[in-house]
Amino acid sequence: MKKKLSQIIVRVRRKFMAQWRRRKVRHFQDAVKVSSNMLDGKVILVTGAARGLGAAIARVCARHGAIVAINYGSSREKAEAVVAEIEAAGGRAKAYGADVREAKAVLEMVAAVVADFGRIDGLVNNAIGGRQNGSLDEATETDYEQAFAFGCKAVINTVKAVRPVMNRQGGGRVINIVTELWNMAPEDWSVYMAGKGAMVGVSRSLAKELGPENITVNMVAPGWMVDEKVDVNSEGSKNFAKSIPLRRHGSADEIGNGCVFFLSDLAGFVTGAYLPVTGGRITQVGM
Q: Which domains does the chain have, with CATH numbers?
A: 40-284 (3.40.50.720)
Higher pLDDT, residue 137 or 54: 54
Name the β-bridge partners of 177. 220
CA atoms within 13 A on the CB side of 55: 17
State residue 33's pLDDT score.
Answer: 54
Report the distance separating Cα 189 and Cα 228, nearest Å: 22
This prediction's pTM: 0.82
Angle at 205 between CA 250 and CA 46, to 5 degrees: 45
Dihedral of the alpha carbons of 257, 262, 265, 269, in degrees to the nearest 10: 150
State residue 189's pLDDT score.
Answer: 74
Report the distance separating Cα 145 and Cα 143, nearest Å: 5
State the alpha helices, DSSP H only, in the chain: 2-31, 52-63, 76-88, 103-117, 141-148, 154-169, 190-210, 235-242, 252-263
State residue 88's pLDDT score.
Answer: 96
State yes or no: pLDDT of 263 exceeds 60.
yes
List pLDDT tens digits, range 117-129.
Answer: 999 999 999 998 7
Report the distance separating Cα 55 and Cα 49, nearest Å: 4
State yes or no: pLDDT of 268 exceeds 90.
yes
State yes or no: pLDDT of 214 exceeds 60.
yes
Q: Work out the percent of the chain whose per-residue pLDDT is above 90.
A: 54
Pairs from 230-238 (Cβ < 8 Å, separation ≥ 24) = none
State residue 246's pLDDT score.
Answer: 65
Instruction: With beta carbons less than 8 A apart as the criterion, state whether 56 and 282 touch.
Output: no
Which of 179, 171, 172, 160 is closest to 274 using CA atoms?
179
**192 flagged as catalytic:** yes
Instruction: With beta carbons less than 8 A apart as the criterion, state whether 253 and 32 touch.
Output: yes
List pLDDT tens digits, range 225-261.
Answer: 766 666 666 766 677 666 666 666 667 888 999 999 9
For the chain, the average pLDDT equals: 84
Name the β-bridge partners of 130. none
- Work out the average pLDDT over 18-37: 52
Instruction: With beta carbons less than 8 A apart as the criterion, state whether 275 and 267 touch.
Output: no
Q: Which of 72, 96, 144, 192 is catalytic?
A: 192
DSSP three-state, residue 222: strand
State residue 10's pLDDT score.
Answer: 53
List pLDDT tens digits, range 181-199.
Answer: 667 777 787 887 788 888 9
CB atoms within 10 A of CB 176: 26
- Work out the average pLDDT over 35-49: 92
List pLDDT tens digits, range 70-119.
Answer: 999 999 999 999 999 999 999 999 999 999 999 999 999 999 999 999 99
**What one-character DSSP code corresponds to residue 50?**
S
